Amino acid sequence: MKKVLIAVSVFCLVMVNNSYANGSANMKKQLDEVVKFENNTLLIKSNETAFVKVSFKINGLGKIEVLESNYSNENIKQQLMEKLNEITVKNQHDVDEVYYYNFTFKKV
């Protein structure tokens, strides 16, 4: 029996400038592309839900610098941080903008 992993709801809560001119909409697209887990790679049990809330900035090199995180599962947080480290933002962005995202994961 194959288990399907669903990354439920990558919610974009860009609250600082609430401006898509500086790449906020593109950030959600990049997160949607990178934050994916193959079958059985997410370290939670079936029908279990986990969340990770992060706030971050994008530095001058285009890498994500996590400012703060809140999470329900340390392993899931670590897996998410590894995915976030893969992202390099190449378009123009404001290095002072703070992004707020809520990630909810459920394995069904």
Q: What pTM was estimated for this model as a whole?
A: 0.69
Tokens 């090199």 correspond to what residue? 61
Question: Is residue 12 over pLDDT 90?
Answer: no
**Separate counts of helices (H) and strands (E) for the chain:** 2, 5
Question: Per residue in 64-103, pLDDT tens?
Answer: 999 999 999 999 999 999 999 998 888 888 899 999 999 9
Residue type, 77: K
Nearest CA among 33, 54, 37 for reference residue 106 = 37
Residue of higher predicted confidence among 39 and 53: 53
